[in-house]
Amino acid sequence: MRGNPYHLICEGPIRGLRLPRCVWDVLKRERIETLDQLKTVADRIDRWERIGPWSARMVRRELARMTQFEEQFSESGKASIHLSREQRRLR
- What are the tens digits of pLDDT across the range 47-91? 999 999 999 999 999 999 988 877 776 665 554 445 555 555 555
Model confidence, pTM: 0.70
**Is residue 23 included in any domain, yes or no?**
yes
**Is residue 86 included in any domain, yes or no?**
no
Instruction: Tell me how far apart the alpha carbons of residues 9 and 12 are, in angstroms, rounded to a whole number.
Output: 9
**Is residue 85 included in any domain, yes or no?**
no
**Is residue 20 included in any domain, yes or no?**
yes
**Is residue 12 included in any domain, yes or no?**
yes
For residue 56, the enclosing domain spans 5-78
Total domains present in the chain: 1
- The pLDDT, as a whole number, for residue 80 is 47
- The pLDDT, as a whole number, for residue 8 is 79
User: Is residue 26 a contact partner of residue 50, using CB atoms and an 8 Å limit?
Assistant: yes
